[in-house]
Amino acid sequence: MSSTYTHTPYTALLAEWKEGMTALASAPNVVCKVGALCNYDAVLGYGDWTHEAVSLYTKHCLSTFGVERCLYESNVPTDLLVGDFSQRTTAMLNVAREVLTEQELGLFLRDNATRVYRLPV
């Protein structure tokens, strides 16, 4: 069984996106909000917020920017146009838990946003 995510033109789009994200990550003052990454997949008919799709995007962001420069975001209510909030949140958290320690998960889910947005705690 083949995956949607291994077929052209999807692989070309993904490669272009990765190249652009890598270029952005080279600027030390840029942070990455990680969320809504699979909306384009759904709109273009490539798939939905599956574990595989979320992994492709999330792992690239985390490895390229580093966890200290990534923030989780839900993008609600816009995300609701192409999917279920619970499914999206669960998929993102499952992927994040695969690659992050508990301390890093805290950075990704809370602490980085507090720092970047200068929120009072």
Distance separating alpha carbons of residues 68 and 71, to the nearest angstrom: 8
Closest CA relative to residue 78, chosen from 33, 46, 18, 115? 33
Concatenate the DSSP letters of all residues of 34-84 into one string: E-STTHHHHHHTS--S-HHHHHHHHHHHHHHH-GGGEEE---TTGGGGSS-
Structural tokens at position 95? 């992927």
In the chain, which stretches have pLDDT less than 50?
1-2
Strand partners, 71: 33
Among the four given CATH numbers 1.10.8.60, 3.20.20.10, 1.20.58.190, 3.20.20.140, the one describing domain 4-116: 3.20.20.140
pLDDT for 11: 76
Sign for the pseudo-dihedral over CA of 89, 42, 65, 113: negative
pLDDT for 1: 38
pLDDT for 53: 76
Burial tier of 59 (Cβ tally within 10 Å: 0-12, 13-18, 19+): middle
pLDDT for 47: 57
